[in-house]
Amino acid sequence: MGSQKWSRRSFLRAAGAVGTAASASRGLSLARVMEAGQSVAGMTPEEVAQYEFYWRQIQMDFELDRTIINLNNGFTCPTPRVALESEFRYTQMINMAPIFYQYPIADRIETIRVRMAEEFGCAPEEMALTRGASESLQIVQNGLDLKAGDEVITTEQDYPRMLTTWDQRMRRDGIKVHRLQFPVPTTGDDLYQRFENAITPRTKVFHFCHITNLTAQLFPVARLSRLARSKGIVTIVDGAHALGQFPFKLRDLECDAYGVSLHKWLLAPIGNGLLYVRKEMIPKFWPLQAAPEQQDDDIRKFEAIGTHPWGIRAALGEALAYHQAIGGERKAARLRYLTLRWANALKKHPRIKILTDLSEPAQAWALAAVDIEGIDVRDLSKFLMDKYRIIVVALVGGAPPNQVFDYQCLRISPNIYTTLEEIDTFVGAMEDAIKNGVPSTQASRESTPQNGWYV
Any idea what the Cα angle at residue 321 is, between residues 100 and 76, rounded to 5°?
Answer: 85
What would the mean pLDDT of 320-331 be, rounded to a whole number? 96
Q: Is the pLDDT at 115 greater than 80, yes or no? A: yes
311 with 349, same domain: the answer is no
Is residue 172 situated within a structural domain? yes
Is residue 4 situated within a structural domain? no
Can you give the CATH number for the domain in which 413 is found?
Answer: 3.90.1150.10
**Which residues lie below 8 Å from residue 119, measured CB to CB, with a gap of 6+?**
320, 323, 324
292 with 424, same domain: the answer is no
Tens digit of each residue's pLDDT (9 = 90 or more) over 205-242:
999 999 999 999 999 999 999 999 999 999 999 999 99
Residues in the chain: 455
**Which residues lie below 8 Å from residue 284, measured CB to CB, with a gap of 6+?**
144, 145, 234
Last residue of a domain, one of 287, 321, 355: 321
Q: Is the pLDDT at 364 greater than 90, yes or no? A: no
What is the model's pLDDT at position 399? 53
Last residue of a domain, one of 297, 321, 345: 321
Is residue 220 situated within a structural domain? yes
Cis preceding-peptide flag for 439 (omega within 30 of 0): no
DSSP string, 66-131: TTSEE-BTTS-PPPPHHHHHHHHHHHHHHHH-HHHHHHHHHHHHHHHHHHHHHHHTS-GGGEEEES
268 with 311, same domain: the answer is yes
DSSP 8-state class, residue 158:
S
394 with 317, same domain: the answer is no
242 with 145, same domain: the answer is yes
What is the model's pLDDT at position 14? 40
Give the pLDDT band (50/70/90) at residue 442.
confident
Domain count along the chain: 2
What is the model's pLDDT at position 359? 87
Any idea what the Cα angle at residue 241 is, between residues 315 and 379, rounded to 5°?
Answer: 115
What is the model's pLDDT at position 451? 53
What is the model's pLDDT at position 397? 80
Lowest mean pLDDT among 28-42, 71-85, 294-308, 353-367: 28-42
Last residue of a domain, one of 321, 341, 367: 321
Tens digit of each residue's pLDDT (9 = 90 or more) over 152-200:
999 999 999 999 999 999 999 999 999 999 999 999 999 999 999 999 9
What is the model's pLDDT at position 35? 81
183 with 144, same domain: the answer is yes
Is residue 419 situated within a structural domain? yes
Is residue 75 situated within a structural domain? no
275 with 348, same domain: the answer is no
Residue 388's domain comprises: 329-446
288 with 148, same domain: the answer is yes
280 with 336, same domain: the answer is no
Is residue 336 situated within a structural domain? yes
Can you give the CATH number for the domain in which 178 is found?
Answer: 3.40.640.10
223 with 141, same domain: the answer is yes
Tens digit of each residue's pLDDT (9 = 90 or more) over 2-11:
334 444 454 3
